[in-house]
Amino acid sequence: MILATICCRGGSKGVPEKNIKLLDGIPLIVHSIRQSQGCSLIQDLIISTDDDRIAQIASEAGAKVPFKRPADLASDTSSKWPVFIHALEFYEKEYGVQVDYLVDLDVTVPLKSPQDIDGAIQLALDHPETEVIITGYEPERNPYFNMMEVRQDGLAEIVKKSETPIVRRQDAPQVYSLSPAAFVIKKSALYNYPHWSKAPCRIYPMPRERAIDIDSNLDFELIEFLMHKKNE
């Protein structure tokens, strides 16, 4: 059983009321709800939020909001891992269903497609020994080639060193920037590991233009521009 979650709090510092801010005339959270509804591999979707306005908008868009997230899981410092466990355990108890995979869809990546989400899920199903699938995109910088860190003595050195210096980007190992478009998590991973990065992971690549993550008003404006350009 594959359960999707959209986990979003009421507070947002970078973009006020980000999760319900209108994007192309639609509340941001509704974009992810519609994308979930377009997936063939997701069997149900629930919203985890502490905010009544988010809950109302999500419910009107056809999503289940079966609980209000506890305050201790809705602070600025709350990790999503216990939020996932809370949502999964509540769902299993409330609906009498055993969940196999949880798929978290981040509201802040509104250009992701149902195909991106289904692709990440299918990768998990094709590799059952892998416990976490994360969406990612090829970055413009590679830590083996053109990224440097500054040491305590003030000198700079390449972030990831290889035995032989890499002189062409094409020769560097493949790396990905992570996008929270979709996290596919095997139920066992939630209890076996304190954090997703400790679990056996694979990357599901997606195009950079669909992986943009909203962290600022500038990101919001960029995504609106891309949406309008696509519509034209």
In the chain, the number of structural domains is 2
Better pLDDT: 76 or 175: 175
pLDDT band at 14 (very low <50, low <70, confident <90, very high): low
Please report, for residues 17, 47, 76, 189, 192, the alpha-carbon distance to residue 9 in angstroms, rounded to integers and kept in the order given: 9, 10, 9, 24, 26
Secondary structure class of 177 (helix, strand, coil): strand
Q: What number is the average pLDDT over the span 178-191?
A: 97
Same domain, 168 and 221: no
Same domain, 19 and 76: yes
CB-neighbour burial class of residue 135 (10 A; exposed 0-12, middle 13-18, buried 19+):
buried
> 76 pLDDT exceeds 80?
no
Phi/psi for 48 (5° steps) reads: -115, 110
The whole-number pLDDT of residue 170 equals 86
Same domain, 87 and 128: yes
Give the domain extent around 163.
Answer: 140-174
Alpha carbons 1 and 100: distance in angstroms, whole number: 5
Residue pair 105/32 in contact (Cβ under 8 Å)? The answer is yes
Same domain, 169 and 98: no
Same domain, 60 and 147: no
Q: pTM value? A: 0.91
Same domain, 52 and 71: yes
CATH number of the domain encompassing residue 113: 3.90.550.10
Same domain, 35 and 123: yes
Same domain, 183 and 72: yes
Which amino acid belongs to residue 193? Y
Better pLDDT: 220 or 38: 38
Q: What number is the average pLDDT over the span 10-17?
A: 74
Closest by CA position to 31, among listed 229, 215, 214, 232: 214
> 56 pLDDT exceeds 80?
yes
Q: What number is the average pLDDT over the span 27-36?
A: 97
Helix (H) or strand (E) holding 31: helix 28-37
Residue pair 121/2 in contact (Cβ under 8 Å)? The answer is yes
Closest by CA position to 192, among listed 124, 130, 118, 106: 130
Same domain, 114 and 187: yes
Residue pair 17/96 in contact (Cβ under 8 Å)? The answer is no
What percentage of the chain exceeds 70 in pLDDT? Answer: 98
Same domain, 42 and 152: no
Same domain, 214 and 153: no
Q: What number is the average pLDDT over the span 211-230?
A: 88
Same domain, 149 and 61: no
- 98-137 per-position pLDDT tens digit: 999 999 999 999 999 999 999 999 999 999 999 999 999 9
- DSSP readout, 85-146? HHHHHHHHHHHT---SEEEE--TT-TT--HHHHHHHHHHHHH-TT--EEEEEE--S--TTTS
